[in-house]
Amino acid sequence: MEAVDKSERDPLELIYNRRFSAIAEYRQNVWKILCGDFFSKYIKPTDTVLDLGCGWGEFINTIDAKKKFAMDLNPEAADHLDSSVTFLQQDCSANWGLESNSLDVVFSSNFLEHLPSKAHLRETFKQIQRCLKPGGKVICLGPNIRFLRGRYWDFFDHYVALSELSLKELMEISGFKCEECVPRFLPYTMSDRQPPLLFLKLYLKMPLAWPLFGKQFLVVGKKSG
């Protein structure tokens, strides 16, 4: 087989491989803890869940749910997804190939800031609102511009600056009731230093420590109706 020139590969594939390939096992172990010790409280085993901007699928592969979808523009994402996950390769601001009122949960981690504009973000939330069942939840985790400032732009593909309050406002004008709005949740990144996994388990049980280390928001909205 002829080798593929790196310059001809999908830019997302290049970015994902640069950031994730060397720490893939560590990231998977981190998400096992995040899902088992924290995010599972929002998601029932009978739920239908979509992972928006799934990356390499660490969340959606791990979470316990009856039906799973993952959405990403990177075609290589499919290679990392479990066979139980249905992959949707598309622009998330375009119409989703899903029925209205068909999802229980839409989850997104460190993705919304990668959208090219606030207009794309607004259209994405229209699709989230359409596809979630009444009472369904949207769970968003991401870097908080209020506590990062210049560091926010250290990643080449960060385009939209968000705080917990700007995302909360977007949810509310998109037909959601904000149920949780945590300004400081997780550290900005655990990829560089890779702290011991025991630290993460303890950290999740100690909300009083979150304001000391947290640089990412957690915002949870519920669809009205």
DSSP string, 161-198: ---HHHHHHHHHHTTEEEEEEESS-S-S-STTT---HH
Which pLDDT value is given to residue 6?
A: 41
Q: Are 182 and 209 in contact (CB under 8 A)?
A: no
Question: Domains (ranges, CATH) in the chain?
Answer: 23-223 (3.40.50.150)
**0.85 exceeded by the pTM?**
yes
| Strand partners of residue 220 | 139, 180
Strand 85-89 to 103-109 pairing:
unpaired
**Long-range own/partner contacts, residues 38-46 (CB < 8 A, 24 or more apart):** 38/204, 39/63, 39/107, 39/139, 40/64, 42/105, 42/137, 42/139, 42/220, 43/104, 43/105, 43/107, 44/104
Which pLDDT value is given to residue 85? 98
From residue 21, alpha-carbon distances to 55, 71, 99, 133 in Å are 12, 20, 34, 36
What pLDDT tens digit does each residue of the chain (225 aa) get?
333 344 444 566 665 555 555 567 888 999 999 999 999 999 999 999 999 999 999 999 999 999 999 999 999 999 999 999 999 999 999 999 999 999 999 999 999 999 999 999 999 999 999 999 999 999 999 999 999 989 898 888 889 999 999 999 999 999 999 999 999 999 987 655 677 899 999 999 999 999 999 999 999 999 987
* 212: three-class secondary structure by DSSP: helix
The sign of the dihedral angle between the CA atoms of 147, 51, 81, 113 is negative
Whether the CA torsion 148, 149, 154, 157 is positive or negative: it is positive
What is residue 193's predicted lDDT score, i.e. its pLDDT?
64
| pLDDT score, position 155 | 84
